[in-house]
Amino acid sequence: MIRTPLIAIWIVLVTIFFSSAAIIVSFITKRNDMPNKVAAIWARFILAASRIKVKVIGLSNIDPSRPYIYMPNHQGNFDIPILQAYLPVQFRWLAKAELFKTPIFGYAMGKAGHISIDRSNRKSAFKSLTNAARIIRNGVSVLIFPEGTRSSDGNIRHFKNGGFFLAVDSGVPIVPVIIHGLWPLMLKNKVFVRPGNVLLEIKKPIESAEYHRKTKDDLLKKVRYVICESFYNKKREQS
């Protein structure tokens, strides 16, 4: 418990430092991958200080040169650094608008090309999805949490429609990503952090080209089934 305030201070300091670095990098280079690389270093610093070790399986299921829509489950505060550090591809976050209002960090996200979505404003949300579709057509992957927000009890919440509209409109495959073992380490709305091991599992892409807006719910159910089956099977193994 004593180390938790130290970790919190460390996270604030490295976030300010690396957010500033990402902003500077975005001004001095035209390489779109550089802010993402800075963010990966930021994420690894945070995980190392928190003594959270991550193992990745399933990397062979994806082609780094292809655009995908990555859809991970959303377990806790450390989902973002885990994905940023250990998903070794270029991608843009489709993230809630509140994050972009955070001083320095929010500006850095904008400069890195991540996409703000205001779920309380339907017109704004649709505009964000249109922007995400444009980015995908340019060959860059997008990551979105289909649950929309973090789990409140460790279970997987209902999926929102936005990512599936994006998938059927763009025809880009969805890659289900499952984060195992994070829930016991940092609970939502709690301040303490426990060291431990996390498994990041990358499943085979699910083609979306055969679906359309009227059948997007079938695609949603298919993706949800893949994520839930793996997540709850692993949970039963560990219990």
pLDDT tens digits, residue range 16-65? 887 888 777 777 766 667 778 888 888 999 899 889 999 999 999 999 88
Task: Return all residues near 178 (Cβ < 8 A) that are at least 6 apart.
Answer: 72, 73, 199, 200, 201, 203, 227, 230, 231, 234
pLDDT of residue 117: 76
pLDDT of residue 220: 97
pLDDT of residue 30: 63
Q: Has domain 3-238 been given CATH number 3.40.1130.10?
A: yes
H-only helix segments in 64-140: 79-86, 105-111, 122-137
Report helix, strand or coil for 227. Answer: helix
Beta bridge mates, 54: 198
Which residue positions in the chain have pLDDT lower than 70? Answer: 1-4, 29-32, 119, 187-193
Give the C-alpha separation, 84 to 114, whole Å: 12
Q: Are 94 and 117 in contact (CB under 8 A)?
A: yes
Q: What is the DSSP letter of 161?
A: S
Q: Are 48 and 42 in contact (CB under 8 A)?
A: no
